[in-house]
Amino acid sequence: MAEDDAEQPTRHPQFYFKNSTHVFQAGTKLYKLHAELLARRIYLFEGMLSEDIGDDNAEMARPKLRIGVGEGISDEKPIVMDMGMATCDEFDALLDHIYDSENNKQYSLMYLVAVLKLSHQWGCSSGEDFSMRRLKDIEMSVPAALRLRLARVHGIHDWLKPAF
């Protein structure tokens, strides 16, 4: 019985807003978030507010999140995020960027890489711009192998030149 209790999702201490519209589950955490804000900032979430499921616009190759009837309306029936796409820590980092935006605090390398990864994967241009700018500020402290991988995946051409 203790095993069942350990697997029950709990409300995220920072990203469970009582006045918001949709409940998400990532791992064992529940998030109650503002659909309009997510849809405005992240391409993946644009489909949440759209009635038009048959949008064949090939402009963006990224998928949009599709929600089943009744999903996301309560803690008992959340929209379950595919954790193959992101870890809870990565999702938290992107939400921190979306809700807290940019300020003058120090960001860890893991945080910046997480924001860059999900922003690129889910279509959040503000997150990509923010994390790329901050990563370039700390470029010399980024391990060479990671710098090369980020440069190749995210097109940071300035980082590729010294490698070859």
Question: What pLDDT is stored for residue 116 in this prediction?
Answer: 95
Query: The domain that contains 87 carries what CATH number?
Result: 3.30.710.10
Residues near 148 by Cβ (< 8 Å), separated by ≥ 6?
A: 159, 160, 163
In this prediction, residue 163 carries a pLDDT of 52
Q: What is the pLDDT of residue 162?
A: 61
Q: Distance between CA 22 and CA 32 in Å, rounded?
A: 5
Which residue segment(s) compose the domain that 70 sits in? 2-163
Domains: count for the chain: 1
pLDDT score of 37: 94
pLDDT of residue 85: 78
Rounded to 5 degrees, φ, ψ at 121 are: -70, -40
pLDDT attached to residue 54: 47
Position 156 scores a pLDDT of 82
- Check residue 63 and give its pLDDT: 65
Residues of the chain with pLDDT under 50: 1, 52-56, 58-60
Task: Please tell me the predicted confidence (pLDDT) of residue 92.
Answer: 95
Whole-number pLDDT of residue 58? 45
